[in-house]
Amino acid sequence: MSQVAFPFAKPLYVMTKPIGAVCNLACDYCYYLEKTNLYKDTSKYVMSDELLEKFIREYIQSQTMPQVLFTWHGGETLMRPLSFYKRVMELQRQYAGGRSIDNCIQTNGTLLNDEWCEFFRKNNWLVGISIDGPQEFHDEYRKNRQGRPSFVKVMQGIQLLKKHGVEWNAMAVVNDYNADYPLEFYHFFKELDCHYIQFAPIVERLSHHADGRHLASPLQKGEKLADFSVSPEQWGNFLCTLFDEWVRNDVGQFFIQLFDSTLANWVGEQPGVCSLAKTCGHAGVMEFNGDVYSCDHYVFPEFKLGNIYEKTLIEMMYSDRQLEFGQMKQKALPTQCRNCEFLFACNGECPKNRFAVTPDGEPGLNYLCKGYHQFFSHVAPYMDYMKRELLAERAPANVMEAIRRGEL
Ligand SMILES: C[S@@+](CC[C@H](N)C(=O)[O-])C[C@H]1O[C@@H](n2cnc3c(N)ncnc32)[C@H](O)[C@@H]1O
Ligand code: SF4
Ligand code: SF4
Ligand code: SF4
C-alpha cells in the first residue's frame, strides 16, 4: 500500500457519476459522453444500491471536517429516477454521524419537472444547469442524437427551478461559435437573473482510440485541435470584454467564477476554480462501477486510481500517484510560465491544455496562454484596486465608484 497522509486539513472530495456517461443529449463538444467506451463489457451503466450505500458511508466517514459535500455528475444525472436520489437522502441521514451534508447536482436541465424541483427545494440541493447562452449559441452544439436542439427544454427547466425557489447556477462553455459574443452572452444570464455564472473554455484535441473514443488524452502529443475549441485570441477577448462590463456595473451583484478566482489569487487566497489553482488533484471522480479517477477531465485508463471495492477512498485520493498528479501542475511548468509576471494568478492553467510550444521551442505551454496573458494584463489595475479595498476591509465593489470618478 502506498503511503497515506493523515490527518487531512481539507475535505476529501469525490464527484460521483451515478449513471456513468449515459445522456439523453449528445453535445458535439462533450468530453464525457464517449467514456461509455471504457466500459464496453457492461450494458447498464447504473450505480447499484450496494455501491451507493458503500460510497455514502465511506465518503462521510473519510471526512475530517463537519461539513460534507456530495456532487452528482454525469452523463445526465436526471436519467436516474427520483427514487435513486430519495435513497441518497435516506443513506446520508443514516450515515451522517452528526455531520452537515450538502448536495449539488449538475444537469442539462431538459428532464426537470415539478417533482424534481420540489425534491431539490425541499432538500436544499444546489442545481447546476448547463446552458451556453442565448438560443442560437446554445443550440449550435447542445443537441440530442437526432440533432434536435435542447434550448427550449432547458429554459422550461430553469423556469420550473425558479417557480419552486430552487437554488441554481449556470455553467456555460465558451467555444469557437459563441466566443465572439461575450456581451450577448452575459446579458442573457443577467436577464435570467442568474447571479452565479461559470464560464469554461472548450479545448479538446482529436485522436483515435481502439475502443472508439475520439478525444485525445492529455498524455498524447501532436494531436489535432477540435474545431469547436475556442482560440486563445477569442478567449482573451471574451474575458476582457466581459470583465469591462462586469467591473463597471456588477461587482458584488453578479458572481463570475473566473473573476472571483482571479481576485482570490491576487490576494493570496485559494481560488474557487481548479484551473487557476497551484495544484490539481483535490477533486476525484467515481464512476458508476466504483472506479475512481484523478480528475473529471482525466478519466482515461492511465489516470485510474483504483476501485472502491479494492481500495479505500482515502488510499486512492491520498496515494502517491494522486499527490504526484496534484504536484505535476507546478512541476511541469515551462520556463515561460516560471518567469511570467502572472504566474501567481494563472498557474499555467489546466495541465490538460498544455500542448503548445513556447517561442523558444519548449513544450508544455498552455494552448490558451495568449488569452490568459491578455486577460491578466487587462484586469491587473482593477484587481490591484480591489485587493487594496479587501485588505483595508472595504468592499471590492468600490472599484465601480473609482472607475466613475475616473481614477482607473
Ligand atoms: C459533462 S456535463 C455532465 C452533466 C450534465 N449532463 C450537464 O450537461 O450539465 C458537465 C459540464 O461539462 C461541460 N462540458 C462538456 N464538454 C466539455 C468540454 N469538452 N470542455 C469543458 N466543458 C465541457 C458541459 O457543458 C457541462 O456544463
Ligand atoms: S448534456 Fe452534459 S453529459 Fe450530455 S452530452 Fe451534453 S455536456 Fe455531455
Ligand atoms: S487537471 Fe485541470 S480540471 Fe483537473 S484539477 Fe487540474 S486544473 Fe482542474
Ligand atoms: S499567462 Fe501564459 S506564461 Fe503566464 S503563467 Fe499563464 S500560461 Fe504561463
- Give mean pLDDT, residues 251-258: 97
Contact 80 CB / ligand 3 (< 6 Å): no
Number of domains in the chain: 1
Phi, psi of 271 (to 5 degrees): -75, 155
SS3 of 33, please? helix
Question: How many C-beta neighbours within 10 Å does residue 275 have?
Answer: 24
Average pLDDT over residues 125-146: 97
- The grid cell for 241 is 470584454
**3-state class (DSSP) for residue 199:** strand
- 61 C-alpha to center of ligand 2: Å? 31
Distance 314 CA to ligand 2 centre (A): 29
Strand-pair category, 224-225 with 67-72: unpaired
pLDDT tens digits for range 159-173: 999 999 999 999 999
| 175: in domain | yes
Would you say residue 340 lies in a domain? no
What sign has the CA pseudo-torsion 15, 18, 23, 24?
negative
Distance 129 CA to ligand 3 centre (A): 20
Catalytic residue among 132, 296, 320, 384: 296
Contact (CB, 8 A) for 99 and 63: yes
The cell for 377 is: 494584463
Ligand 3 atom with the shortest distance to the CA of 349? 7
Count of residues for the chain? 408
Q: What 3-state class would DSSP assign to 30?
A: coil
Q: Which residues does residue 255 pair with via DSSP β-bridges, in sequence order?
A: 196
361 occurs within a structural domain? no
Residue carrying the nine cell digits 459522453: 33
Q: What pLDDT, on the 0 to 100 scale, is given for residue 7? A: 43
Grade residue 9 by pLDDT with cuts at 50, 70 and 90.
low
Answer whether residue 174 shows pLDDT above 50.
Answer: yes
The whole-number pLDDT of residue 341 equals 98
Does any domain span residue 309?
Answer: yes
- Percent of all residues in the chain with a pLDDT value above 90, rounded to a whole number: 95
Task: Report pLDDT for 43.
Answer: 82
What would the pLDDT profile of 214-231 be if each residue is shown by its tens digit?
999 999 988 999 999 999
Distance (angstroms) between ligand 2 centre and the Cα of 23 equals 6
- What does the pLDDT look like over 255-294, one tens digit per residue? 999 999 999 999 999 999 999 999 999 999 999 999 999 9
Nine-digit cell string for 142: 447542445
Based on the residue annotation, tell me whether 244 is a catalytic residue of this protein. Answer: no
53 in any annotated domain: yes
Residue 308 has pLDDT above 80, yes or no: yes
Res. 22: pLDDT tops 90: yes
The C-alpha R_g of the chain, in whole angstroms, comes to 21
Judge contact between 276 and 262, C-beta under 8 A: yes
Q: What is the pLDDT of residue 4?
A: 39
In a domain, 213, yes or no: yes
Helix (H/G/I), strand (E/B), else coil: 391: helix
Helix (H, G, I), strand (E, B) or coil at 375: helix
Please check whether residue 286 is in contact with residue 16, taking contact to mean a CB–CB distance below 8 angstroms: yes
Tell me which amino acid residue 357 is. Answer: V
Contact 225, 360 (CB under 8 A): no
- Does the residue 404 lie in any domain? no
136, part of any domain: yes
What is the distance of C-alpha 273 from the center of its chain? 7
ipTM of this complex prediction, to 2 decimal places: 0.98
CATH of the domain at 59: 3.20.20.70
pLDDT tens, residue by residue, 50-100? 999 999 999 999 998 899 999 999 999 999 999 999 999 999 999 999 999
Q: Distance (Å, rounded) from C-alpha 109 to C-alpha 338? A: 41
Distance of CA 344 to the CA centre of its chain: 21
CB-ligand 2 contact for 22 (6 Å cutoff): no
Is the C-beta atom of 111 inside 6 A of ligand 2? no
Range of the domain at 17: 13-230+278-332
